[in-house]
Amino acid sequence: MIQAVEASIDPIEIHKDGLAWTFAGSIRASQEHYFGGIDKNKAAAKKHAKQQKKYDNLTAKGKQPTWKVTPSTAVDLELEQDNVRELLNRLTEHYKEDLAEQNEVDFAKNTKELIEFFRENASGAVSRVTKEMAKYKALKLLEEVGISEPRKRYRQYPFEFSGGMRQRIVIAIALAADPDILICDEPTTALDVTIQAQIMELINHLKEKRNLSIIFITHDLGVVANMADRIGVMYAGKLVETGTADDIFYSPAHPYTWALLSAMPDVDTNDRLEAIPGTPPNMIYPPVGDAFADRNKYALKIDFEMQPPMFKISDTHYAATWLLHPDAPKVKIPKIITDRIARMKEKGGKSNA
């Protein structure tokens, strides 16, 4: 499969096919996790049996140990298999989309883009970048990110710029390397609402103009609702729910996602927000089961014993919660969330989330 995927890659594409280029590394890593997990589980089973025997001997003597027996498994092999299936399914759907669009390719436009790309990068291939060339590119980047009077701003110091202008300049610095992927880590922090909107509009414009893939890392659910196509909700370093923006905001399935949405301010209601109880776990000593279990009022006994796998809800929507197991009790989405969903639908959906 790796050979077939690599054979499908066009080496002179300007905008690389990220899924195809990373497939070999991803599938090999998944194989290593799975087969390495078999050995780890054997070791964990031996350790579990030894500790369980010691634990049973102590309880038989009327003593109550203060320690817990380690789990009998260290790696969820079913979860690793699901990860491989998900990777292969995404690859299959990706190639189906490519095949469906192959008759709509604008070769004239692609040829022009390729010529412009070579022309722009030719100077770097035949000679070192001069100060004049660097200045010219810097001025073009300042103009591209919406800095007015770039020649004047070029001579100024950072303390002379506002917060919004500094954010634009940082974006320009990132774009100087002509990236295929732009990672924005809390891009709107410490900015007022008006400047936030301007920065988001700029990033959307750059995404379309440069054909960028953008990864947002943010705690601001308003930014997520208005910017993201796909969302990954993380807790304690692990993905607990993934899906489209509509999946996450209109059909949330994980209790942590419920908690986040329940704590999100809403100008259309005076209902009291629900704070998330407790504190995040110390990941130096990670919990045995679900990391969110201690803060989850819907937690089941198994949540404290074993990490849940990613359960498939739809082709685009997955969540790692035991509440989705066929034998789990049926738990309804909190009323504060269903009320908010109803209000968002009345206002026109995601664009007004």
Percent of the chain with pLDDT over 70: 96
| Residue 203 and residue 171 in contact, taking contact as beta carbons nearer than 8 Å | yes
Report the topology of domain 224-353.
Rossmann fold (3.40.50)
Q: What is the number of other CB atoms lying within 10 angstroms of the CB of residue 322?
A: 24
Q: How confident is the model at residue 224 (pLDDT cuts 50, 70, 90)?
A: confident
> In the prediction, which pLDDT does 352 show?
47
DSSP run (H or E) holding 124: helix 107-126
In angstroms, the CA 231 to CA 250 distance is 13
Lowest mean pLDDT among 41-45, 59-63, 107-111, 203-207: 107-111
pLDDT tens digits for range 25-50 = 999 998 998 999 899 999 989 998 99
Query: Hey, where are the domains in the chain?
Result: 1-101, 127-218, 224-353
In angstroms, the CA 298 to CA 216 distance is 29
Output the CA–CA distances (angstroms, integers) from residue 110 to 16, 116, 139, 140, 207, in the order listed.
13, 10, 27, 23, 18
pLDDT tens digits for range 283-313 = 888 888 999 999 999 999 999 999 999 999 9
Q: How confident is the model at residue 326 (pLDDT cuts 50, 70, 90)?
A: very high
Please list the residues that pair with 55 across neighbouring strands. Answer: none
Look at residue 220 and tell me whether its pLDDT is greater than 70.
Answer: yes
| Residue 233 and residue 239 in contact, taking contact as beta carbons nearer than 8 Å | yes
In angstroms, the CA 48 to CA 54 distance is 10
Output the CA–CA distances (angstroms, integers) from residue 257 to 78, 290, 291, 306, 309, in the order listed.
23, 14, 14, 20, 16
Lowest mean pLDDT among 256-270, 283-297, 322-336: 256-270
Whole-structure pTM value: 0.60
Look at residue 129 and tell me whether its pLDDT is greater than 80.
Answer: no
Task: Decide yes or no: CATH 3.40.50.300 for domain 127-218.
Answer: yes
> In the prediction, which pLDDT does 113 show?
80
Picking from 289, 298, 292, 296, the residue whose alpha carbon sits closest to that of residue 236 is: 292
Lowest mean pLDDT among 39-48, 82-91, 191-200, 237-246: 191-200
| Residue 334 and residue 258 in contact, taking contact as beta carbons nearer than 8 Å | yes
| Residue 186 and residue 167 in contact, taking contact as beta carbons nearer than 8 Å | no
